Amino acid sequence: MDFGTNPSQVPIGTSYIGGMGDFDTNLWSHPRLMAAATGEDWGTVFRTYRQLAGISQMKLGERVGLVQPDVSDIERGRRRVTSVEVRQRIISGLGIPPGIVAGAALSEALPVPALALTSPAPDEDLLARVTNAIDGCQRVDKVTLDWLDRLLAEHRRAEDTIGSRPLVDVMRQQLRTVVDLYAGARGPLEERVVRLASEHAQFLAWMAQDQGQSAAALAWYDRSHEWALEAGDADMAATTLSMKAHMAWSGGRGARCVRLAEAARWSAPGASLGVQGMAAQMEARGHALNQNGDQAHRLLDEAQELIVRAAQHPEDEPPWMYFYDETWFTLQRGMAALHFRDWQGAADHIAAGLDALPETYRRDGAWYRSCLAHALAGGGEPERAVAVAMETIPDASAIGRPHAWNELHTTAAVLMRQGGAEGRQLVDALQASD
């Protein structure tokens, strides 16, 4: 069998090395390559694969059915892989093992009764109506949608405690359930199904973002935004733009963060006060990243005023804004202070926010404790920094990857530059837990 000339015949999980017909089944265990494939960052996949395998752009193109200029454009980010057929050629040609690539087809969803295993099940009559609505395209009723609303809310809160990884497949299945219900929805319920689909897509986007899968997150946010516009949901339309702004901030792109946060506000003037406050604080964080202190502090003050007003009428806020309160905002103040190297201000705000953060927010707790450790290290308090970091390692390792985990490594680097023993102590602890 000539594997060198027919990429589609390469066994799954097998990879070329050196273009000589040899294979290395361990190539896809490389963390950088796996992370890029999981997030469908095909430019990084191509570059990393070629570096590891020692092959040219032309050779890689032969394996995935692309000409060399197309490979070059994808590597440089000038071209995106949007074709399902091209995507499959890449997966087959590079021998990407099953389970690595994000965004598995929704058609692989389990039947509705399986959802009852992950959340309190409806009564038998309701479960039958849900199943029949999907299998037989019968009409959807309000009780069915109420149950799915409740299921989504419970999964959101579960994700705060257990992290996103255990829930991704469940939520894909649940979204497929909602999409299938659309065929049987009539009148106002049809709009509600679209709105519910938008909320599920936004949650999937957030979980992809939480796992560092940027390409998948952006795709889900775009889908959520489209459905929100179709349903006339100003709150979700604005929220998806704010979350894309958050992604830009996470990637160090302050100007893009500001533009997206501004768009969240002017494009959805009917959004709730809380949603407007989220957009204002995201815009502030973009300005803080760009060291624009006056704009950042002005917008933070504006966001805080919106939060206080929103808290007076919580019934007006969408369900996914349950976390957005003054505790959360105090933590955001601390994050802005980090950008300005106001180490003491950052430590004070983050510590105050953590003291008020419920224990159920385990994933967020790991993230903000890692940021607190960074602030303490930057402020010249290495012993306190290491103590906080050590406390954070278990949760950061279990459910805080990649964000909290990376922040702990940043803290270790700060401490190492300071030359004390604390840096080496933290590095050793991180390596032992890796």
pLDDT of residue 351: 97
Task: Please count the CA atoms within 13 angstroms of the CA of 345 that sit on its side-chain side.
Answer: 11
Q: Is 120 helix (H, G, I), strand (E, B) or coil?
A: coil
Residue 256 structure tokens: 């893009």
The residues of the chain scoring below 70 in pLDDT are: 1-26, 29, 31, 99, 102-139
Q: Is residue 181 a contact partner of residue 173, using CB atoms and an 8 Å limit?
A: no
Integer Cα distance of 225 and 221 in angstroms: 6
Q: Count CB atoms within 10 A of the CB of residue 8.
A: 11
The tens digit of pLDDT for each residue in 373-418 reads 999 999 999 999 999 999 999 999 999 889 999 999 999 999 999 9
Domain coordinates of the chain in residue numbers?
Answer: 7-93, 110-232, 235-324, 341-434
Beta bridge partners of 23: 16
The tokens 């964000």 sit on which residue? 403
Determine phi and psi for 239, rounding to 5 degrees. Answer: -65, -40
Average pLDDT, the chain: 83
Q: Is residue 274 a contact partner of residue 306, using CB atoms and an 8 Å limit?
A: yes
Domain 7-93 belongs to what architecture?
Orthogonal Bundle (1.10)
- Does the pTM exceed 0.85? no
pLDDT of residue 362: 94
The tokens 């957030």 sit on which residue? 206
Determine phi and psi for 209, rounding to 5 degrees. Answer: -60, -40
The tens digit of pLDDT for each residue in 299-353 reads 999 999 999 999 999 999 999 999 888 999 999 999 999 999 999 999 999 999 9
Would you give the distance in Å from CA 420 to the centre of its chain? Answer: 35
pLDDT of residue 16: 35
Integer Cα distance of 360 and 120 in angstroms: 19
The tens digit of pLDDT for each residue in 129-151 reads 444 544 445 567 888 889 899 99
Residue 148 structure tokens: 């799915």
ω into residue 402 within 30 of 0, thus cis? Answer: yes
Question: b/e for 81-107, b at 16 or more Cβ within 10 A?
Answer: beeeebbebbbbbbbbbeebbbbeeee
pLDDT of residue 104: 36
Q: Is 17 helix (H, G, I), strand (E, B) or coil?
A: strand
